[in-house]
Amino acid sequence: MPEGDTIFRAARTLHRALAGKVVTRFESVYPAVTRIAEDRPIVGRSIEKVMARGKHLLIAFSGDLTLHTHMRMNGSWHIYRVGERWHRPARDMRVVVGTADFVAVGFSLPIAALLTPRDLARHKELRALGPDLLNAGSVAQGSGAPSTTAPDEIVRRMRAHDRYVIADVLLNQRVMAGVGNVLKSEILFVAGVFPFRTVASLCDGELLRIIETSRELLHANVMERAHSLSPSIGRRTTRSLDPNARLWVYSRGGKPCRRCARRIESCKTGVDARLTYWCPRCQT
């Protein structure tokens, strides 16, 4: 599943290509979206902004309609110049938003809906999101700079899950929005925290260190060098220039730790049996 940094980059790229432009083409394979678009046409409206909220992507149109999408495991947004050949087959298309210059195509999106301001305010998933360490508001201004989120609120939400292990709590979007399975393992390695400690066993200082590490790694992966919408752009957490040494522990089970040479361990955890990686020496 794309993580918060990937969605942020996608929103920023779409915003730069589409914001301020008039919609000349709008299509969707979803009947509910098509029905609303027929009653309240999207073509002719201008695109005001594209925003990321955690793992959700929102395209706001003039006249108080917003397209809400979520990529889940396999969805993606592509941007093409008008007339350019798509890189994926048309059968995978779920939503198309076109302007005179660019065409944005949402492929294999499992979730897409046109929402009014009232719908947005009452949206169950969006309302439940925890603080977003990548400020969605900055996307609309094109700055790309995340704002500071009060860490005390995130600590409070973590403490509400005292009995759970920290690796699972980091994936809970109601606690803190944007962290996915790759960054979960990387954050805990950099913070030096064993992933299977319960929140109750961690002091506030350790929780704050985890939150700050989360912010730093998310921020590092939305730097201006990253213009692609693709999740495979090459997430980095090690700051190494070696293209084969981008990550500390994720997907490196059985390989030597880049810091201490101890063998990286891994196991499946949680309801979805997601893989967690850690160094048994660096994360005591």
Q: How far is CA 150 from CA 19, 22, 159, 190, in A?
A: 29, 37, 15, 21
User: What per-residue confidence (pLDDT) applies to 72?
Assistant: 84
15 lies in the same domain as 115: yes
Predicted TM-score (pTM) of the model is 0.82
Supply the pLDDT for residue 229: 53
Which of 78, 97, 130 represents a domain boundary (last residue)? 130
Among this protein's residues, is 256 annotated catalytic?
A: no
Candidates 9, 55, 184, 235; catalytic one: 55
Residue ranges of the alpha helices (H) in the chain? 4-18, 31-39, 117-122, 124-128, 137-141, 151-159, 166-170, 181-191, 204-220
Question: Does residue 261 lie in a domain region?
Answer: yes
- What pLDDT sits at residue 144? 38
Q: Which ranges of the chain have pLDDT less than 50?
A: 136-148, 225-228, 231-232
Q: Could you tell me the CA-to-CA distances from 71 to 1, 103, 231 in Å, in that order? A: 7, 18, 11
Q: Which two tokens stand for residue 48?
A: 């005001």
Q: 116 and 200 share a domain? A: no
Is 184 part of the annotated catalytic residue set? no
Spatial distance between the Cα atoms of 279 and 188, rounded to a whole number of angstroms: 10
Same domain, 106 and 203: no
Is 143 a domain residue?
Answer: no
Please check whether residues 81 and 159 belong to one and the same domain.
Answer: no
Dihedral class, residue 39 (left if φ above 0, else alpha if ψ from -120 to 50, else beta): alpha
- Catalytic member of 21, 25, 246, 274: 274
Q: Can you give the residue range of the structural domain that contains 122?
A: 4-130
Is 124 catalytic? The answer is no
Is 197 a domain residue?
yes
Q: pLDDT per residue over 162-209, tens digit each?
A: 999 999 999 999 999 989 999 999 999 999 999 999 999 999 999 999
